[in-house]
Chain A
Amino acid sequence: MELTPEQLKKIRLSYTFLETWRRGKIAEALDMYYHRNTFQPTPQMIAGKELHEKMEAHIKEHKQFPEWVSTTLKLKDPISEQVYIVDYNDKFLLKGVIDVSDNGVVYELKTGLADSLKYTKEYQVPLYFLLCELVGIEVDRAIIIHHNQYTQKNDVAMVWNGKRQIERARNYIDSIGSDVLSYFESEKLW
Chain B
Amino acid sequence: MPKQTIKNNKITVDLAKVTELAVEGGKFIYTPKAEQALVNLLTLKELVDKSIDLAKEMIAEAGTQLDPNFKGVVGEQVKSIYRTYGEKYYYDGHFDTPKEVLKTITTVKVDGKGVETYVKEHGALPVGIQEKERTPVLSLTLIEHGTNPRAIEED
Spot the interface stretch: B12-20, B25-33, B68-76, B86-94: B68-76
Partner of A157 from the list B68, B73, B76 (CB cut-off 8 Å) is B73
Spot the interface stretch: A1-9, A95-103, A160-168: A160-168
Could you say which residues of chain A place their CB within 8 Å of the CB of B70? 155-157
Q: Is the C-beta of A79 less than 8 angstroms from some C-beta in chain B? A: no
Q: Is there an interface contact between B76 and A162, defined as CB atoms closer than 8 Å?
A: yes
A44–B34 Cα distance when bound, in Å, is 65
Partner of A160 from the list B67, B76, B83 (CB cut-off 8 Å) is B76
Q: Contact flags (1/0) for A143-161 with B, using CB distance below 8 Å?
A: 0010000000111111110
Known: A72-B67, A73-B66. A158 touches B76 (CB 8 A): no
A155–B53 Cα distance when bound, in Å, is 23
Q: Is the C-beta of A120 less than 8 angstroms from some C-beta in chain B? A: yes
Tally of B interface residues using CB under 8 Å: 17
A164–B79 Cα distance when bound, in Å, is 12
Q: Is there an interface contact between A156 and B74, defined as CB atoms closer than 8 Å?
A: no
Q: Is there an interface contact between B69 and A154, defined as CB atoms closer than 8 Å?
A: yes
Partner of A72 from the list B68, B73, B81 (CB cut-off 8 Å) is B68
Q: Is the C-beta of A171 less than 8 angstroms from some C-beta in chain B? A: no
| A-B pairs with beta carbons under 8 A, tally | 53
Residue of A nearest to B69 (CB): A155
Interface SS of A by simple majority: mixed
Tally of A interface residues using CB under 8 Å: 21
Q: Is there an interface contact between A156 and B67, defined as CB atoms closer than 8 Å?
A: yes
Could you say which residues of chain A place their CB within 8 Å of the CB of B77? 164
> How near does chain A come to B138, taking the closest CB pair, in angstroms?
37
> How near does chain B come to A111, taking the closest CB pair, in angstroms?
14
Q: Is there an interface contact between B66 and A72, defined as CB atoms closer than 8 Å?
A: yes
Q: Is there an interface contact between B74 and A120, defined as CB atoms closer than 8 Å?
A: yes
> How near does chain B come to A119, taking the closest CB pair, in angstroms?
10
Partner of A70 from the list B65, B69, B72 (CB cut-off 8 Å) is B69
Q: Is there an interface contact between A160 and B69, defined as CB atoms closer than 8 Å?
A: no
> How near does chain B come to A63, taking the closest CB pair, in angstroms?
18
A116–B72 Cα distance when bound, in Å, is 9
A interface residues with partner B (beta carbon < 8 Å): 70-73, 115-117, 120, 145, 153-160, 162-165
Extra inter-chain contacts (15) besides given A116-B71, A145-B67, A164-B77, CB under 8 Å: A70-B69, A71-B69, A72-B66, A72-B68, A73-B67, A117-B71, A154-B69, A156-B69, A157-B70, A157-B72, A157-B73, A157-B74, A158-B72, A158-B73, A165-B76
B interface residues with partner A (beta carbon < 8 Å): 63, 65-77, 79, 81, 83
15 contacts between A and B (CB under 8 A): A70-B69, A71-B67, A72-B66, A73-B67, A115-B71, A116-B71, A117-B71, A154-B69, A155-B69, A156-B70, A157-B73, A158-B66, A158-B72, A159-B73, A163-B76
